[in-house]
Chain A
Amino acid sequence: MDGTGILKGLAVTFKRMLDTYIDDFKRGKKRYYTEEGIRYRQSAEVKGIFTVQYPDEKLPVPEEFRFVPFLVYDEGPNGERKDRCTACGICSKVCPAQCIWIKRATNPKTGRPIPHSEEFYIDIDMCMNCGLCAEYCPFDSIKMDHDYELATYDRHRDNILNKERLLKPASYYAQIRPLNYAREEEAKRQAEEAKRKAAEARAKRMAARKKAAPPKKEDKS
C-alpha cells in the first residue's frame, strides 16, 4: 500500500524520540554534563539523543589521539628545564609533509655540533597529524598533543610553532598519555638497570684482570 514506507520511517524517528525520554527518565541528570554520561553516550549501548554539548561538555579523547606534535622537557628538582631532544633529526626525516625544521646547536668554542637543538620549528599548516615523528623518536622527546582548540585569526603569526610554543613538561605528557608514559619510563628504568649491571660487571672484570696481571700494566706505563 502506498504510504506505508513513509509511515514506517516516521515510526522509526518517533521511536528515537521516545527512546531519548525513556533514557532521560532512567538515567536522570547523570546523562548530561557528567563524565559517566558522556562515557555512556560513547558506548555501544547508547540509545536516544546522542549529542555532545560541546563546549560545555567535551568528548574525552582516547590516549592515542593525536593532533599536532609537541616537545617534551624534563623538569629538574629546582625547576630547571632539560629538553629531551638531541637534534638527531629523525622526526624531520620521517615527516611525510616535511614540516619540521631543526637547527642543531653548536659548541661555541669548537664550532662542532652538540646534541641539542638550537631552533625547532613546526609549520602546522603543513602538518598532517600522522604521528610518525612521535613513533620513531628514539628519545621520547616529540609527542602528539591532545589539544585541538587551536583556531587562530592569523596563521602567519601563529601557525609556525617555535620551540617556546612547542615545549611542554613531561608531567603534561604523563597526564595526557599515562599508559604510554608509564611504559616508556619502565623501559628507560630497565635500560638503565641493564647499563648499571653491565658497568658493574665490567668493573668487576677489570678488577679481576688487574689482580691477575698487575706487573704487566706497570711495565707498560
Chain B
Amino acid sequence: MSTDDLNSPEYKDKIPEELQGTVAITTLDRIYNWGRRNSLWPMMFGLACCAIEMICTAAARFDFARFGMEVMRSSPRQADVMIVAGTVTKKMLPQVVRLYNQMADPKYVVAMGACASGGGPFKEGYNVVSGIDKYLPVDVYIPGCPPTPQALIYGLMKLQQKVDKQSIKEVYSNAGKEIPIPVLGPDIMDPRDYEKIREYTLKKAEAEAQAATAAESAQSA
C-alpha cells in the first residue's frame, strides 16, 4: 500500500522530498477511514440467485480478498457490510432486519441486484419486499440481474469511496439505534405503521359495509 491515498492533500507538499513515499501526514479521519475501507468484512448472507454471483466474486477468479474483504463472516456481530444479495421476501424480512440490528457500528448495506434494490422482476409478487430500502438504510445500489462479479466489485469500490468521505463524528451518529422488527401478520407489518394500518383497515371495512348495503338496497329495489 503506497502512502498516496493516506496523505492529506493539503500536507502533501510539506513532506521533504527524500521522505516522500515513506512518511505520510494525514488527519485522524483519513487514517481511520483508510483502515476501515480496507477491511470491510461482508456478512456471509445470501438470499437468492445474486448470492451465487457473490460467491463467485469471493472465489478465485474475481477474488475480493484483493480489497480486504475476504473474511466473510457468518455472524452479523463481526461483519461491517451486509450485502443483501437477492430477493427479500416478506417471510425473510424480520430476520434480515434482525441481522442488521445485530451488526456492530458502523455498518453498511449494499443492495445487490434489481431485487434487493427495488423488487426486481418479482416486484409484483405478494411475498416480495419491493426494495430493502423500505426498511433499512442502503448505501450503495447495484443494478443488474444478477450483477456480474465485476459489477459487484465496482459497487463495493463505490462503497469504499463513500467510506473515505465520512468523518468519525458522523460515522457513529447512528450507533445503537435499532430498527423495529417487522411482524408477520396477515401481511407484513411495520410496527411504525400500526396507526396507519388501523386507519386503513377501518376505512376499508366501512367502504365494504357501504357497498354491501348499497347492493342490498339495489337488490330489494
Contact = CB atoms under 8 A, between A and B. Distances in A.
The answer to whether A and B touch in the complex, with CB atoms under 8 Å apart, is yes
A49 B60 CA distance: 8
A148 interface: yes
Contact of A124 (B138, B143, B149, B153): B143
A52 B120 contact: no
B91 to A, nearest CB: 21
Interface in B131-146: 131, 133, 138-145
Contacts of A151: 140-143, 151, 154-155, 158
B63 interface: yes
B157 to A, nearest CB: 7
Interface in B47-67: 60-63, 66
B204 interface: no
A45 interface: no
A44 interface: no
B118 interface: yes
A97 B121 contact: yes
B131 A125 contact: yes
A67 B147 CA distance: 8
A154 B140 CA distance: 7
Contacts of B114: 124-128
Contact of A153 (B63, B118, B119, B158): B158
Contact of A148 (B111, B140, B144): B144
Interface string A108-131: 000000000000000111111100
Shortest beta-carbon contacts, A-B, top 5: A125-B118, A151-B155, A128-B121, A148-B151, A97-B121
Interface of A: 49-55, 58-59, 67-68, 96-97, 123-129, 148-155, 158-159
Given A51-B66, A150-B142, 9 more contacts: A51-B60, A52-B61, A54-B149, A126-B123, A127-B121, A127-B145, A148-B151, A150-B143, A151-B155
